Each structure stands twice: as C-alpha cells, then as structure tokens.
C-alpha cells in the first residue's frame, strides 16, 4: 500500500480508477533512473536518496508518482543506524549535562555541554555531532538493496495504488478462474466478512469493505489489501468495489479485470499447491492414466452451499457435464456434522468418496438426495466404481443430446464435416454427434470414424487414385495416404476400403505396402 496522500485517481461520473503507470518509455526511464540511483548509493544516507527524488520531481515528473516509486524502493532496501552508540542514550546524556551547565544559549555553552557528555562517554566532539541524530530517518544508511526491474517496480506501484484505493471501500466483489482454495483460506485467515453468490454462471465473493465497519477499520483495510495480490495471481479475474471518496463524500464505482489490467499489476510468485493427501495424489495419477474422456480438474471453483461454500477436491468434466468430487478424509465428529449440513444445501452434482469407517448416520441420510452420489472405499479409492458412475451420468446427458440432434433440421453442404467441429458448433458432445451421424448418415455422405465425407468427394479421390495407378502401374500406401490427406481426410485406410481398395503388406513399412483394387 501507499500513503493516501500519494494516491492518484481518475474520477468521472461516479466511476473511479487509479491512475495506473503504463509501461511506457518515459515511465520505464524514470523507474530505471531511481533504481540505478539506489544501487549506486548503497552505503550512503537516506537524505542523499531523497535529494535525488526531489531532482526527479523538479525535472517534470509527477511528484506523487516519483515519491510512490521511491517509497517502494525504500522497502526493497535495508536501512540501518550507523552509530556505535545508541543515539537515544547520547541525547539523554546531553540533556543531563544541560541541567549542570545550563541552556546552550551561546556556542560556548553548547560546546561545554557536549564536552561534559564527551567526558562521561569517552567520545570526541566529532563523534557526538555524527551520532547525535543518527537514528533519524534522513540519517539512516542504505546497507543493502535488492533491485527490481523497472517493469516490476511499475507493476508493484500500480498494485499498491489499487490497494490504497480499496482501503476506502464499502464493499468488494471478485471472481477468479482458479486458486479458490488458497483464496478462501486467506479470506478466512484475514478475518474478512464475506458471502458467496452466482451471477451468469460465475461464482462471486462479496466482502464487506473497511468503511462499512464501525471499528478496527485500519486493520481490516490492510487485510483486504493483502488479499488483492492473491486475486490478480489468477489467469482470469474481475474485481469491483464501492469506494467512499472522502473528499466529496460520494460513493464511486471501481472495476478492473484481467483482460484489460493484468499486464499492469504485479503478480506474486505463489508456491504450487500440493495434494492434501497421498490418497488424492494416487487417485489423480490413476484417473488421468486411463484416458476415460473425462477431464480431471484439481481444486475447481467452490460450490455454493447456502451462504457458505464447499471447495471440492476435483471436478470431472465432459462436454457440458460437470460433476464435483469430494474426498472425505481425515475427520472429526464436528467436521462431519458441519459437512452434512452444508451438503444439504448443495444443488450441483457431487460425487462423495467416503471411507467406510465414516459411514455415520448423518452422511447416510444424505444418500436420498439425487444430486449427491456416495462411493464408499477402504484404504484405496475404487477407480472402477467411479468410472461406472461417470459413464452412467454421461449416458443420461448423451441420450438427451441424441434426441436433440435427431430432431434438429440440418443440411450439410461441406464436402468434409468433422464431428468435433459440428459438436462444438451445435453445443453437444462429440459422442452424441458420432452416434447419430454414423447410424443415420445424411443423404449423399459416408460416415467415417471421425468425419462425414460426401460421396462426390470420395469419387474425386477415387479418380485421382485410378489416374495415379494408370501412370505408375502401382501405388504405395504412403502415397495413397498423401493423396487422401491432401483432401482433408485423416483416416486413409477407411477411405480406401470405401473406395474398394485393399492394402497388401510386405513388412511393417508403409512405403512397401501396396494399394490395389479389390477384384469383383
């Protein structure tokens, strides 16, 4: 964060936004100039650095921008007091000497006071002058400096501006593309007051702002500032807030999003999340190895459960079907009771894997809820049981999609139709498209494993192959494959079969395999 007097904003028609420093040549030059100055003045007093900052301000740079950068660079440095004696003790001795000698109304009296203190502390007059105020901010020595790059400094400046602005928020809302477990852990650890809601299939977290509280607003505002870097660390995010602009006492709208602002803000280097248990890690490894057609996503977005949320361990996704999965592992009785109460309010499809030892009444009673499915295990998660459940769940979706496709009036005109592209265009699964088009191929088309091909296109390919055979007398499988793939058909072997050709192999090399017409 930055001090409020260094906050610079754009404000118009009820909208407010920090005046972010773009990564322009001028701003990068100013940032780099300050960084180099700090690097060059390690071992010197802070007042020397302040003089450089003042010179940069006088050269035409906006003073709040320059001072903000300098403050961030101060935090990158280690400043120490270079006095061999505690300046506070030294000043105390001088005050005591003043009681004996009297007030330093003249230079001579001042010298006598210092000499008295010197005799008691075995210091010279030069030492006293040097150490007397060595603990003041301007007199501190820059001992170490960890220089950022110019772009990193500007990004940190922009992030700090945002944190400072949010300090005066009445409420803050955000959504993000991932990292939810870490986000909610931080929200709770920081003691922030929150609620969760959905808007246009997006999960949003609304946090009460510090201005909405009656006490401890400073500490609460700092905690909101600590949460901001964790939000912007995600690939996609949106943050909105209501800001109380104290100079006019009006509420302004603030909004930033990753698409526009991600490149301007400094992101923290977060340690990758590890699996909570060996059971989870083993399951994820085995599931991904079987290539089931389902996508396993670890720690997806939270699932709303009334005013609270459940953060599942995984989500299992295929086509438009998403099933959340929770592994109920280590537990206490209180934990299971809280979990059961939350699950009562879940509306999403959820698969719960429960150790047989946890088959308590509270959980068993929830099995009557259609959106919840329980699989019990002992020691090791049963992969086969999970795959059977997923296949059954997908078959229900697939049946609805097939019914939709069978009643969909479609006329194909392209010579080659990819099942995957058509499925994406219509919004159904590839499996449903394949099931419909291979059983009921449209008139004038031949269904292949992954595509539809018009009979006209197949005839054109057949004519090219016949011409090649007439000219050369023979055709290798590799050459036939090149001819067919040049027409946008990936399964050459299937196309050759449809055209009435056979493949004769002379070893494993496709160059030696020959293509010939099947004699009638």
Q: Is the pLDDT of residue 361 over 60?
A: no
Q: Is the pLDDT of residue 250 over 80?
A: yes
Residue 24: which residues within 8 A CB-CB, separation 6 or more?
A: none
Q: Is the pLDDT of residue 130 over 90?
A: no
Per the listing, tokens 């992969």 go with: 383
pLDDT level of residue 216 (50, 70, 90 thresholds): low
Q: Is the pLDDT of residue 51 over 70?
A: yes
User: Could you tell me the sign of the dihedral formed by the alpha carbons of 43, 45, 46, 51, in that order?
Assistant: negative
pLDDT level of residue 364 (50, 70, 90 thresholds): low
Q: Is the pLDDT of residue 417 over 70?
A: yes
Provide mean pLDDT across the span 108-126: 75
Provide mean pLDDT across the span 439-465: 88
Please provide the distance, in angstroms rounded to a whole number, between the alpha carbons at the two ends of the chain: 84
Q: Is the pLDDT of residue 377 over 90?
A: no
pLDDT in tens, 265-285: 988 877 666 666 677 788 888
Q: What gap in Å lies between CA 386 and CA 77, rounded to an integer?
A: 54
Q: Is the pLDDT of residue 212 over 80?
A: no
pLDDT level of residue 197 (50, 70, 90 thresholds): confident
Residue 15 confidence (pLDDT): 93
Q: What gap in Å lies between CA 127 and CA 131, rounded to an integer?
A: 6
- Give 267-272 contacts, CB < 8 A, sequence gap 24+: 267/155, 267/229, 267/232, 267/233, 268/229, 268/230, 268/233, 270/179, 270/182, 270/230, 270/233
Cβ pair 10, 17 in contact under 8 A: yes
Q: What gap in Å lies between CA 30 and CA 34, rounded to an integer?
A: 6
Residue 86 confidence (pLDDT): 80
The least confident of 32-36, 66-70, 211-215, 393-397 is 211-215
Q: What gap in Å lies between CA 113 and CA 101, rounded to an integer?
A: 6
Between 153 and 133, where is the model more confident? 153
Q: Is the pLDDT of residue 511 over 60?
A: yes
Provide mean pLDDT across the span 33-46: 90
Q: Is the pLDDT of residue 520 over 70?
A: no
Q: How far is CA 279 from CA 51, 190, 286, 313, in A?
A: 60, 30, 11, 11
Nearest to 73 by CA among 91, 56, 97, 96: 56
Cβ atoms within 10 Å of 225's Cβ, excluding its own = 20
Rg (alpha carbons) of the chain, rounded to whole number: 36
Q: What gap in Å lies between CA 55 and CA 41, rounded to an integer?
A: 15
Residue 329: which residues within 8 A CB-CB, separation 6 or more?
A: 276, 277, 279, 280, 355
Whole-structure pTM value: 0.61
Residue 195 confidence (pLDDT): 80
Residue 409 confidence (pLDDT): 86
Q: Is the pLDDT of residue 363 over 70?
A: no
Q: What gap in Å lies between CA 270 and CA 17, rounded to an integer?
A: 27
Between 51 and 475, where is the model more confident? 51
Provide mean pLDDT across the span 200-216: 74
Cβ pair 113, 90 in contact under 8 A: no
Q: Is the pLDDT of residue 38 over 60?
A: yes
Residue 263: which residues within 8 A CB-CB, separation 6 or more?
A: 23
Q: Is the pLDDT of residue 441 over 60?
A: yes
pLDDT level of residue 73 (50, 70, 90 thresholds): very high
Provide mean pLDDT across the span 80-96: 80
How high is the mean pLDDT of the chain?
84
Q: What gap in Å lies between CA 419 and CA 79, rounded to an integer?
A: 66
Helix, strand, coil percentages (3-state) for the chain, rounded to 5, are: 50, 20, 30
Three-state SS string across 437-493, please? HHHCCCCCEEECCCEEEEHHHHHHHHHHHHHHHHHHCCEEHHHHHHHHHCCCCCCHH
């Amino acid at each position: 964060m930055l001090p409020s007097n260094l906050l610079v904003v754009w404000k118009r028609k009820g909208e407010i936004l920090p005046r972010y420093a773009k990564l322009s040549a001028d701003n990068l030059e100013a940032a780099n100039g300050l960084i180099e100055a700090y690097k060059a003045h390690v071992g010197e007093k802070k007042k020397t650095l302040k003089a450089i900052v003042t010179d940069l301000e006088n050269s035409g740079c906006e003073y709040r921008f320059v001072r903000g950068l300098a403050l961030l660079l101060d935090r990158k440095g280690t400043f120490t007091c270079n006095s061999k004696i505690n300046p506070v003790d030294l000043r105390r001795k001088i005050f005591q000497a003043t009681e004996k000698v009297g007030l330093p109304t003249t230079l001579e009296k001042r010298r006598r006071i210092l000499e008295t203190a010197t005799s008691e502390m075995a210091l010279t007059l030069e030492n006293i002058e040097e150490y007397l105020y060595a603990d003041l901010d301007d007199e501190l020595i820059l001992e170490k400096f960890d220089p950022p790059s110019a772009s990193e400094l500007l990004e940190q400046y922009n992030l700090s501006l945002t944190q400072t602005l949010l300090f005066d928020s009445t409420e803050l809302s955000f959504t993000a593309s991932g990292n939810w477990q870490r986000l909610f852990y931080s929200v709770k650890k920081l003691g922030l007051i929150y609620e969760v809601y959905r808007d246009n299939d997006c999960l949003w977290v609304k946090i009460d702002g510090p201005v909405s509280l009656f006490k401890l607003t400073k500490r609460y505002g700092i905690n909101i500032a600590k949460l901001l870097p964790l939000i912007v660390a995600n690939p996609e995010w949106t943050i909105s807030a209501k800001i109380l602009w104290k100079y006019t006492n009006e509420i302004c709208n603030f909004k930033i999003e990753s698409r526009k602002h991600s490149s301007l803000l400094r992101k923290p280097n977060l340690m990758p999340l590890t699996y909570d248990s060996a059971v989870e890690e083993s399951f994820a490894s085995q599931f991904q190895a079987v290539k089931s057609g389902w996508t396993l996503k670890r720690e997806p977005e939270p699932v709303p459960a009334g005013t609270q949320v459940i953060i599942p361990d995984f989500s299992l996704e295929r086509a438009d079907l998403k099933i959340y999965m929770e592994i109920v592992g280590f537990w206490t009785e209180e934990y299971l009771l809280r979990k059961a109460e939350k699950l009562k309010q879940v509306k999403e499809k959820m698969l719960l894997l429960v150790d047989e030892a946890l088959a308590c009444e509270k959980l068993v009673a929830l099995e009557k809820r259609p959106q919840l499915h329980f699989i019990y295990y002992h020691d090791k998660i049963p992969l086969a049981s999970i795959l059977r459940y997923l296949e059954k769940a997908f078959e229900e979706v697939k049946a609805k999609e097939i019914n939709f496709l069978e009643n969909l009036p479609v006329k194909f005109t392209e010579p080659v139709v990819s099942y995957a592209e058509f499925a994406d265009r219509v919004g159904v699964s590839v499996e449903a498209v394949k099931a419909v088009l291979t059983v009921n191929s449209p008139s004038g088309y031949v269904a292949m494993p992954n595509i539809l091909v018009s009979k006209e296109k197949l005839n054109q390919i057949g004519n090219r192959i016949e011409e090649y055979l007439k000219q050369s007398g023979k055709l290798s499988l590799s050459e036939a494959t090149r001819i067919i793939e040049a027409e946008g058909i990936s399964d050459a072997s299937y196309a050759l079969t449809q055209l009435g050709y056979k493949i004769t192999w002379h070893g494993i090399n496709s160059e030696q395999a020959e293509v010939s017409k099947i004699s009638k």
